[in-house]
Amino acid sequence: MDYINNLELAVDQKEHLKVIDSKIREVMPEKLYRHSLNTLEYANEISKRFLPDIDLYRLSVACILHDYGKIFSYEELLRTAKENRLEITDFELNTPPLLHSFAGDYLVCRDFGINDDKILKSIKFHTIGYCNMSLEDKILFISDKVERSRNYEGVESLRAIADKNIDLCLLEVYKNTIIYVVGSNKLLHPDSARIWNNICGGI
């Protein structure tokens, strides 16, 4: 909460973030709640050098709510997606680690009354990204993976890159994610190759 008070936002925007913070603190496990705040904090650190060109409020809301879908079980997410006929592919429906994000935009809209398309898109695609990502969405994608509580080999190097070049950091974080997924014998989203090529300068 104190961190929210220090953000460079209008008073009403800070108050809205505080309301969201209160709600998620009640329903999220402590570790997930801390990750959400850490993602918000790290994203705002990165964003400072892009002001005033970045939409800090939208980014902040997306950061603090990006993992809201994780409070629901896979079965609950699956039922919600099917009952509300959400636009989610069969692959995404059958890949539990991804479903929280692809149903997350609907859940955030339903439970928090947020209808902003940019915020909802950020939340929906924070796990795999998309081609030609906005600056705000690049920062959320990176911050989710390298916020200060993350501890894995190479994370310090990624943070150092984030401090200098956001696009290069996106490339390195995406590469790291693909290597992790493949190395763990997990399913790779069908769009990942296309997004990777786009990040590398392709179409």
Asked if the model's pLDDT at residue 127 lies above 90, the reply is: yes
Domains, the chain, ordered by start: 2-151 (1.10.3210.10)
HSE, side-chain direction, 13 A CA sphere, residue 107: 25
* 198's tokens: 């786009």
Confidence (pLDDT) at 26: 97
| Residue 7: pLDDT band with limits 50, 70, 90 | confident
Mean pLDDT, rounded, of the chain = 95
Confidence (pLDDT) at 203: 62
DSSP calls for 140-176: HHHHHHHSTT--STTHHHHHHHHTT-HHHHHHHHHHH
Mean pLDDT of 94-123: 97
Of 98, 102, 115, nearest to 61 by C-alpha is 115
Asked if the model's pLDDT at residue 51 lies above 90, the reply is: no
Phi/psi for 187 (5° steps) reads: -75, 135
